[in-house]
Amino acid sequence: MSATPATIAFFPEGAFGPTNNCVGIGDVLRRRGHRVVFVVEESFAGTLEARGFEERLIRLTPAAEVEEAPGQFWKDYIRETAPLFRRPTIEQLEGFVAPTFQALIDGAKHVDDRLREIFAELRPDIVVEDNVVAFPALHASGRPWVRILSCNPAELKDPDVPPPFSGLPQADRDDWESYWAAYRAALGPLHAEFDEFCRERGAPPLPPDDFIHESSWLNLYLYPAEADYPRARPLGERWHNLEASVRTTDAAWTLPEPLAAGEDPLVYLSLGSLGSADVELMRRLVATLARAPYRVIVSKGPQAAEIELAPNMVGDEFLPQTSILPLVDVVITHGGNNTVTEALWFGKPMVVLPLFWDQYDNAQRMRETGLGVRLDTYGHEPAELTAAIERQLGDRALAGRLAAISRRLQSAPGTLRAADLIERVLQPR
């Protein structure tokens, strides 16, 4: 499918996961001749230009006194709140989820005027956004817009789907009602206050229990069908499941010597750019894997200087994940949506150590679909981690399932489907 060249603005949340998801789709559209502009948080300045895109910069908080690394606000925030990740998910609602929504809402308020300026200057034919909360400036622009949900689809509420951020099983609903009560108690006042702000600034009322609107044009989410939730109410016709959205823009990567010459299983450890800010946890995992018969690739994250690797390991602050995943035998992940869907895209078994947000839902979904092992992130013993790895390495039936999922996903890339759907919205132009 093709369309008359258009100006397409991508507006991802100021974190690597949503940004990388949008990069994959934006790259396809750029190669089709469209002008692709990224509206990104200032700490990402230059990172999208380096990939060949235009940038327009915003701030979600008052200006910092020192230069910031990409996504630095969220890295600092996660590091400071890491002790809360040891609590049950129902207790995280008040201590972590609500303050996180408050920070996101504050950002939406802070940036509203700047976004209006950008949309007026760019006059985009369409805006593609991947965010957790609404931005009234998007509605006020009058431009067609696309919503991407790059989180676990439990955020699309349904009577047969467990509550979001809970990590509760689908088959056992005993705790659903108490969790929903705690969810609404913690987030209800924030929702009411943000709903009033959205209306004042020209956006529609917020849906119940949601901090973001559904697009009237196109809505996309990404979760392989083998792991997706059965629903009591099918999603509307404007919703499309990309299943995976794997970018092809990462740099090539080669396993260095002496690890390349080894024969032990190759394990990839990544807790994401935010989760890896918990240095104590990273050191504990490194210590466990240092004593195990594996070769290990470690994504060290923003606190890389504080994480010393063992001789059976190689790693760096940033790694080209989509170039590494095809090489490895097992993935140890925090359960971020990008890593989970990318691991399935490449047919890799997972051990999931959830920390916050939808990572618990992804971990539980991998457990109950048999596609991964969920462990207690802080409560597991070293032997449990190595046993989980061995279980994944030795499961031939699982290997066959994952290979079939990988073949199916790669036969119909989500990035291409997203580009087709976005161009379809553009056709009435």
Q: Are the beta carbons of 229 and 366 closer than 8 angstroms? A: no
Report pLDDT digits (tens) over 203-251.
999 999 999 999 999 999 999 999 999 999 999 999 999 999 988 888 8
Dihedral of the CA atoms 227, 81, 319, 309 (nearest 10)? -110
Q: How many CA atoms within 13 Å lie on the side-chain side of 265?
A: 19
Give the residue carrying structure tokens 């990224």: 38
User: Backbone phi, then psi, for 98, in 5-degree steps?
Assistant: -65, -50
Nearest-angstrom CA–CA distance, 187 and 146 = 25
**Phi and psi at residue 63, to the nearest 5°:** -55, 140
Sign of CA dihedral 393, 394, 398, 402: positive
Q: How far apart are CA 426 and CA 421, in angstroms?
A: 9
How much is the pLDDT for 61? 81
> Bigger pLDDT: 76 or 126?
126
CB 307 within 8 A of CB 282: yes
User: Is 48 a residue whose pLDDT tops 80?
Assistant: yes
Q: What is the pLDDT of residue 1?
A: 45
Average pLDDT, the chain: 92
pLDDT, tens only, 294-331: 999 999 887 788 889 999 999 998 899 999 999 999 99
Element (H, E) at 221: strand 218-221
Domains along the sequence of the chain with CATH: 7-246+413-426 (3.40.50.2000), 259-410 (3.40.50.2000)
Task: Please report, for residues 125, 192, 414, 415, 420, the alpha-carbon distance to residue 37 in angstroms, rounded to integers and kept in the order given.
Answer: 11, 33, 20, 17, 18
In angstroms, rounded to a whole number, what is the distance separating the alpha carbons of residues 219 and 223?
13
pLDDT digits 0-9 by tens, 335-344: 999 999 999 9
Give the tens place of pLDDT for each residue, 380-404: 999 999 999 999 999 999 999 999 9
d(CA 80, CA 72): 12
